[in-house]
Structure 1
C-alpha cells in the first residue's frame, strides 16, 4: 500500500533533502510543513482531531513516503507520530487534551525520549533519570544523551524515571520547565535537520498531571509495536527510493534489475507483515518476531542502498555527482543504530546480524 505525498510537499522535501542532512538551518520548518499537509492526523481518530477514514497502516506508509525523500524529515515525523501514539494510549488523561491539538497542527514538537527506558527494560543499561516525590508532584534529575525532534521553539518529551521504592514511571516534560536544559544540536554526520540534542534535567518539578504512565514497563510494552513499526518505515522508505533509482538507471543490467525487483517485493511484504502484527496484537506479548523483522528490514535497506551505489559506479565518488546516492548510503548505515539498535535486538534474539552484500 503506497502513500502518495502531495506534489508540493514532495517538491519541498526534494529541495531540502541535502540541507536537512547537512545542517540545522531548516530544522524548525519540517514539523509545520508536514502538519500543513495533515500527515500527523493519519491513523488518529477523528474524535481527537485526526484524519477521518485514515488508519494505522496509512500512517506507516506515509512515514515511508517521506523517508524516500529525506530521512531527516521522516525521522522528525517518526518522533512526532510516536509521541502522538503515547497520548492516544489513554486519551482520557489531561495530557491528551493539552498537547494533542498542538502536536497535530505542528505548533509543538514531541520527542520520544524513551531509548534509555527501552534499553533499561532489556537489561542493557540503568535508567538515567530519577524522580523524587514532592508534596504536589515529582522532582526529576538526570540526563538524556540523545533526543530527536526537540525544537528550540518548544517541545514536550516523554521521559522514563526511576522512583524510590516504586516501579519506574513515564513523565512528560516541557521545554519551558525550570530545570530542563536543551543542549546545542549534536554534530551528526547526517540528520542535522532532525533537531537532535542532549537534555539535562536538574531539579525539574512536575505536577501529578505530568505523570503519563505509572508503570513504565507496561506502557512500553503497549507502545513498542507502533514505535518499531514507524521506525521500520524509515528503512523501507530509504530502500525503496534507492531501488527506484536503480530501476531507472539508463545502463541497468539484468542482474541488478532482478535483484532490485526482488528487494522491492521483500520490503513491501515485510512491512505489510509488520503492520498486520501490530493491528492484530501479535507483537504485544511476543515481540521477538517484530525484533527479527526490524533487523531484517535494516539489512534489506543496506542491501538496496549498496545496490544503488554499485549501479551508479565510480560517479558516486566524484564530488557533486551523486550526492543523494551517498546520502542514502549514510542513512542506511545510520538506521541500525537507532534505539533499540540492531545490536541490542540481536542480543535479545541471540542471532548474528549479517552485513548486506549487493
Structure 2
C-alpha cells in the first residue's frame, strides 16, 4: 500500500527544491530565496478564503501543501509552516486593519511572517510562563500604546529583508495577555545572528529581543491571547504535522525505489509504517476538518507524537535500504533527511513536552 497521494506543487518549484535541498539545509546562501519561491508558486494562498486573496480550500489543503514541500526539503517546509501559520493568525484576528495591510504581501511571499508563539503555546499548556511583557502608556491625547520588552530565543523565518513576528505579552496592569505583530524595523527590535543549527540552516532562525519598543493597538493581533491560542492551536500543530507527513512519505518512497533485495528485506515493515502513516494522516485531517481538536487537544498531541515515531522509523528503513550508497555524498538525500528528521521531535511543542501533557491529562481524567 502506498502512502496517501501528495498534493501537487509546481514542477519549477519542485525542481528548484530538489536542486538546492542540500544547500539550504547545510548553508545560508539561499535563505532569502525560499519565501519568494514559495510565494511565486502560490502556496501561501492554499486554504485561504478567496475573499482574503487566497485560493479557497481548507487548512487540510494547506497541511498537504506543506507535506508536498517537505517531500523535497524540510527546511523549505519549516519556513512554509512559519509563514502560513502567521497568515492563519491574521485570518483569525479581529484586527481587520492589520489583516488588510499585511495579508497581500504575506500571501505573495513579498514579506515574511514569523510565528513566535511557541512560548505562548507552552504557556497555554502550563509548561512555561510568558517571556514578554507589555506596559500600557497613559496618555489621553493619543491612541492606546504599550511599551514592549522581552526576548524569545528561537523564531523561524526572521528574514533579514523584512519580517513581522507574532509574540504574546503579559500585561503589567493585570489585563489578559495579548499578541502583537512586531515589525522588524520598529525601534528597539533586535534580531540576533542566525542560530548555529546542525541542519535547516537556511530557515532564518534567530533570537528576537524587544527593548522599550512602543506599539499601538493597530499592531495587536488579539487582546485576548488565551482564547485566541485555543482557536489557532489546531492549525498551529496541524500545519506543523505536515512537515512530518511529507518527510515520512519521502523516506518510504525511497525504500520503494531501492533494489529488489533491499525492498524484500524490509517489505513487511514498510507496509506497516505506510499503514500507520495513512491512518495518522487521516486522523489529523478529520480532526482539523471537523473541529475535534478544538475541545480535545490531547487527540492532536497523540497524532503529533505518532507521526514523529513514524518519521523516525521510516528514516531508519531508508538508511537500511539505501546501504552504502546512502553514505556517499551526492548519491542520495538519505543523510540530509536523517539530519532533518532529528528536528521533528524537538520542534515546539517537543515530543517530551507533549508526552508530559498527555500524562497529566490522563492523571486528571483518572482522578
User: Which bracket does the TM-score occupy, shorter chain normalised?
Assistant: over 0.9
Which of 46, 65, 90 matches 1:87?
90
Contact preservation (8 Å) 2:95, 2:221: no
TM-score (norm: length of structure 2): 0.92
Quote how far apart the aligned CAs of 1:257 are. 2.3
1:108 aligns with 2:111: yes
Quote how far apart the aligned CAs of 1:322 are. 4.6
Equivalent residue number for residue 24 of structure 2: 20
Which of 240, 246, 259 matches 1:237?
246
Aligned pairs (5 A) from 1:222-261: 222-250=231-259, 251-261=261-271
Which of 198, 206, 210 matches 1:201?
210
Which of 279, 297, 320 matches 1:287?
297
Quote how far apart the aligned CAs of 1:239 are. 0.9
Alignment RMSD (CA, Å): 1.4
Equivalent residue number for residue 364 of structure 2: none
Say which SS state the counterpart of residue 157 (structure 1) adopts. Answer: strand
Give distance in 2, aligned partners of 1:90 and 1:253.
49
Contact preservation (8 Å) 2:93, 2:222: no
Quote how far apart the aligned CAs of 1:317 are. 3.4
Contact preservation (8 Å) 2:95, 2:222: no
TM-score (norm: length of structure 1): 0.94
Quote how far apart the aligned CAs of 1:259 are. 1.9
Contact preservation (8 Å) 1:128, 1:161: yes
Equivalent residue number for residue 354 of structure 1: none
Contact preservation (8 Å) 1:80, 1:110: yes
Contact preservation (8 Å) 1:315, 1:321: no
Say which SS state the counterpart of residue 177 (structure 1) adopts. Answer: coil
Give distance in 2, aligned partners of 1:223 and 1:92.
15
Say which SS state the counterpart of residue 337 (structure 1) adopts. Answer: coil
Indicate how the Cα distance of structure 1 residues 103 and 116 shifts in structure 2: closer, same or farther if over 3 A, else same: same
Contact preservation (8 Å) 2:158, 2:206: yes
Say which SS state the counterpart of residue 252 (structure 1) adopts. Answer: helix
Which of 152, 155, 163 matches 2:160?
152
Indicate how the Cα distance of structure 1 residues 11 and 288 shifts in structure 2: closer, same or farther if over 3 A, else same: same
Unpaired runs of 5+ residues, structure 1, are 352-358
Give distance in 1, aligned partners of 2:352 and 2:175.
30
Residue correspondences, number: 349
Quote how far apart the aligned CAs of 1:91 are. 5.9
1:339 aligns with 2:348: yes
Give distance in 2, aligned partners of 1:2 and 1:259.
21
1:63 aligns with 2:66: yes
